[in-house]
Amino acid sequence: MAIPIILPVMISFPAIFSPAPTTGAQSSLISPLFLAVPLLFGVGLGTLFLGMTSIGQEGKRLWNLSSLPIEAGTIVTSKVLFTSLISTIGLVLGLGLTVFFFQVSVLDALTFIAVGITIVLAEASLGVAIGSRYPDFSDGPRPRFVTIIGSIIGAFLGVVVMLLMSLPLLFLLLARVFLLLPFSLQLSFFLGGMLGLIFARISYSLSIRSVDGILRELPN
């Protein structure tokens, strides 16, 4: 459970202790907000891993849930919200470190927290979708809560989702370099956040189907 809090801080160390961005002609393109990208990546990975283990952790408690008038959507919503809440702690901590070390503007801080929330929702929904599709309910001294295949698929898809969310940033940077078009870091983050919400919605729907299938297979 501590992964979404510890991992962002560890990944943010290189950005925190790297030289501060220089002022001058490059200040319009180089922003301290760029240094938050590795931290957001850490938040996303931590959220993904926590989400993937959320269903498997229920174990035998799922038998109790199957006998109650609880729909699959309720279970998925609670798992996504709980995972997002834990991960938001790491997100807020990372924002505090960024503001403290780089004195970012209010607009940059709001952009950071907004795109961070979309990443958390996307990765939490994806994690729950993978965890409900490949759960591991086996008991043992070191339970995995998700199968090895599920862990590999989830890690791959989690990275792919974050890379796809970063495409608007890449395209706008290329347009700035090669076409000399105006560059807006906030716009690129906004477009990436919209992609994140789309991925979150798709993963949420897939999670409901998987959890509903698990509940149907359990004896009432």
Higher pLDDT, 214 or 80: 80
Is there a domain that residue 162 lies in? yes
Average pLDDT, the chain: 78
pLDDT confidence of residue 33: 63
Q: How confident is the model at residue 152 (pLDDT cuts 50, 70, 90)?
A: very high
**Nearest Cα to Cα of residue 102 among 7, 195, 15, 218:** 15
Average pLDDT over residues 41-60: 86
Is there a domain that residue 22 lies in? no
Is there a domain that residue 21 lies in? no
Is there a domain that residue 113 lies in? yes
Q: What are 78-119's pLDDT values in tens digits?
A: 999 999 998 888 888 877 777 777 777 777 778 888 888 999
Higher pLDDT, 42 or 34: 42
Number of structural domains (the chain) is 1
How many CB atoms within 10 Å of residue 44?
A: 29
| pTM (two decimals) | 0.80
- Which range marks the domain in which residue 133 is found? 3-16+31-217
17 pLDDT more than 60:
no
pLDDT confidence of residue 80: 93
Is there a domain that residue 101 lies in? yes
pLDDT confidence of residue 26: 43
Is there a domain that residue 26 lies in? no
pLDDT confidence of residue 174: 81
**Nearest Cα to Cα of residue 12 among 77, 94, 114:** 94
d(CA 49, CA 56): 12
Is there a domain that residue 172 lies in? yes
Is there a domain that residue 148 lies in? yes
